[in-house]
Amino acid sequence: MNKTIAIIRGDGIGPEIMDEALNVLAAVADKYGHVFTCVDAPMGGNAIDKFGEPLPKDSLETCLTADSVLLSAVGGPKWDGMPKDKRPERGLLNLRSGMGLFSNIRPARIFPELKDASPLKPSIVERGIDFVVVRELIGGAYFGEHTTTKRGGEDYAQDIMGYSEHEISRIAHVAFQTAQKRRKKVCSVDKANVLDSSKLWRRVVTEVAKQYPDVELSHMYVDNCAMQIVKDPSQFDVIVTENLFGDILSDEASEITGSIGMIPSSSLGEGTRGLYEPIHGSAPDIAGKNAANPIGMILSAAMMLRFSFGMSEEADAVENAVNTALRDGLRTGDMMSDGCTQLGCREMGRAICERI
C-alpha cells in the first residue's frame, strides 16, 4: 500500500521520539512492502517561532489531505507567556477541530514487565489494569464561548460548557463499538447531579445504549470515577466522558500504569484519517539529551497502522517488538529498574526496529 503521513515533529523531545517512530515505520514498510510518504506539517512552538502562528494554514491543509497524521508533542516554557491564540496548545486544539476529530481513545494498560512502576499497591495492580478512556474531543468547555469581562467592579471570566445531542450520540457510538471488541462494558462518566450538559449526556448515552444490547452500560459521577480509578481500576473496560473530564481522568488513568511514556492515543472523526500521538508532553527538561522514551510515540504509529490503514498484522509486529524489547530487559531512564539495561532514545528505537 502507498500512504501519505503528515508528520508533526513538535517541540522539546518531539523531534527525537518522532525520528524513532519514523525508523520503525521504515522497518515496517521494508518488511511488508509498503510505501509511506512523510510530509512535514509544522505545528506548536516551533511553528510560532518560524511562522508566527501555532498552526499555519499550510500545515492544516497537509494534515487534511494526508491519509493520517502523526504528532509527537508540542509546547514548552518558552511559549508560556504568549497570548492564548499564539500558544502551542491552540495549534493542537485547532488541529483537532479543523480535522473534526471528536473521538479520542486513550488506553490505560499495565505492561506486565513494568508493574512495579505503578504507584498503586500491588494488591490493586494484581487485579489487572486494562481499560480505555473514550474522550469527547471537540466540544464542551474547551470549545464553548470564553469571555473575560467586568462584573461588580472586578474581573469576571467564564467558559461555557455545552453539548448537543448529536455530539453526545456520536461519541457514545464509538464507546459502545469499542466495548464490543473488548469486555463489553461501558461506564459513562458525568456530573448529572449538578450540570445540565451532564443530564443531557446521560439521557443520550442511555438512548444510544439500546442499540447495543450486548454491552452493559453503567453511569458514574466524575468525582467518584476519579476515586474508583485508584481504588479498583480493574472494574473498568471502557470509560466514555466529555472533553474536560476526559482530559483529567485520562491523565490519572495513565499515571496508575506507571508508564506515561509508553501510552499512545488516537483521535478520529467520521472517516479513517486520524491523529495519533503519545499522551505525554514535550518534556523540555530532557530534550536533546537522547534520554526520552520513544515507546508511546512508536505505539501511536502502531495504532495508526491498525485504525487508519487497516494494517493489523503490521501493528501487531510493532507491538510485539516493543513487548519483546521490554521482556529482554531494555529500558529508557524513566522506567529503569534493577537488573535491566538502560538505553537512550535512539538505541531503544533501534532495538525495537531490530525486533520487527
Q: Which is nearer to ligand IPM, 26 or 93 (CB)?
A: 93
Q: Which is nearer to ligand IPM, 23 or 254 (CB)?
A: 254
Q: Which is nearer to Mg ion, 19 or 89 (CB)?
A: 89
What phi-psi label fits residue 79: left (phi over 0), alpha (psi between -120 and 50 degrees) or beta? alpha
Per-residue mark of binding to Mg ion, 217-256 (x: CB under 5 A): ------------------------------x---------
Q: Which is nearer to ligand IPM, 247 or 334 (CB)?
A: 247
Contact predicate 310/345, CB 8 Å: no
- Pairing outcome for strands 341-342 and 330-331: parallel
If contact means CB under 5 to 8 A according to the sort of partner, which of Mg ion, ligand IPM, none does residue 92 touch?
ligand IPM
Work out how close the CB of 23 gets to ligand IPM at its nearest, in angstroms, rounded to a whole number. 25
Query: DSSP string spanning 63-113?
Result: HHHSSEEEE-----GGGTTS-GGGSHHHHHHHHHHHTT--EEEEEEE--GG
Query: Is 214 an active-site residue?
Result: no
Work out how close the CB of 251 gets to Mg ion at its nearest, in angstroms, rounded to a whole number. 5
If contact means CB under 5 to 8 A according to the sort of partner, which of ligand IPM, Mg ion, none does residue 255 touch?
none
In degrees rounded to 5, what are phi and psi of residue 254? -70, -35
Query: Is 247 an active-site residue?
Result: yes
Give the C-alpha separation, 174 to 268, whole Å. Answer: 10
What the block records as the C-alpha cell of 186 is: 461501558
- The active-site residue, picked from 3, 67, 142, 190, is 142
Contacting residues toward ligand IPM, per CB under 6 A: 89, 92-93, 247
Work out how close the CB of 89 gets to Mg ion at its nearest, in angstroms, rounded to a whole number. 10
Q: Which is nearer to ligand IPM, 188 or 267 (CB)?
A: 267
Residue whose beta carbon is closest to ligand IPM: 89
What the block records as the C-alpha cell of 324 is: 519483546
If contact means CB under 5 to 8 A according to the sort of partner, which of ligand IPM, Mg ion, none does residue 89 touch?
ligand IPM
Q: Which is nearer to ligand IPM, 246 or 294 (CB)?
A: 246
Query: Is 251 an active-site residue?
Result: yes
- Please, what is the end-to-end C-alpha distance for the chain in angstroms? 18
- Pairing outcome for strands 154-159 and 146-151: antiparallel
Strand intervals (E) in 16-166: 35-40, 68-71, 103-109, 130-136, 146-151, 154-159
- The active-site residue, picked from 67, 163, 191, 212, is 191
Work out how close the CB of 241 gets to ligand IPM at its nearest, in angstroms, rounded to a whole number. 13
Write out the binding residues for Mg ion, residues 40-69 only, by CB under 5 A. Answer: none
What the block records as the C-alpha cell of 344 is: 537512550
The residues facing 270 across adjacent strands are none
Work out how close the CB of 39 gets to ligand IPM at its nearest, in angstroms, rounded to a whole number. 23
Work out how close the CB of 346 gets to Mg ion at its nearest, in angstroms, rounded to a whole number. 27
- The active-site residue, picked from 11, 67, 247, 334, is 247
Contact predicate 134/111, CB 8 Å: no
The residues facing 94 across adjacent strands are none
Contact predicate 348/336, CB 8 Å: no
Give the C-alpha separation, 108 to 323, whole Å. Answer: 16
Give the C-alpha separation, 91 to 55, whole Å. Answer: 5
Show which residues are catalytic: 142, 191, 223, 247, 251
| Chain residues in the site for Mg ion (CB under 5 A) | 247
